[in-house]
Amino acid sequence: MCPSCPHTPPCPPAYAHDHEAARLVAFHPEQGWGLLCNGVVVFEDTGELLPDGRSLPTHRAPCARAA
């Protein structure tokens, strides 16, 4: 649970395996990023920036090849 999260149920913390389930509290599509309630910045390429400054690489599913 996020210590300052006002949502019910509370958003998962930034370092939980399901941290992406937190609610979006700021969204800037023109810049390609959003801020989750738990302090994680998510980017449109699926990369992430954790509150401690560590980055997580993009994690898109591989595209299926046309037959």
CA separation for the pair 30, 62 (Å, rounded): 25
Q: What integer pLDDT is reported at residue 7 of this predicted model?
A: 87
Which tokens belong to 31?
């810049």
Residue-by-residue pLDDT tens, the chain, 67 positions: 555 788 889 999 999 999 999 999 999 999 999 999 999 999 998 899 999 999 988 876 656 565 5
CA separation for the pair 11, 1 (Å, rounded): 6
Following DSSP, what letter does each residue of 3-66 receive, concatenated?
TT--SSSPPPPTTSTTGGGSPEEEEETTTTEEEETTS-EEETTS-EE-TTS-EE---PPPPPPP
Which tokens belong to 28?
């800037």
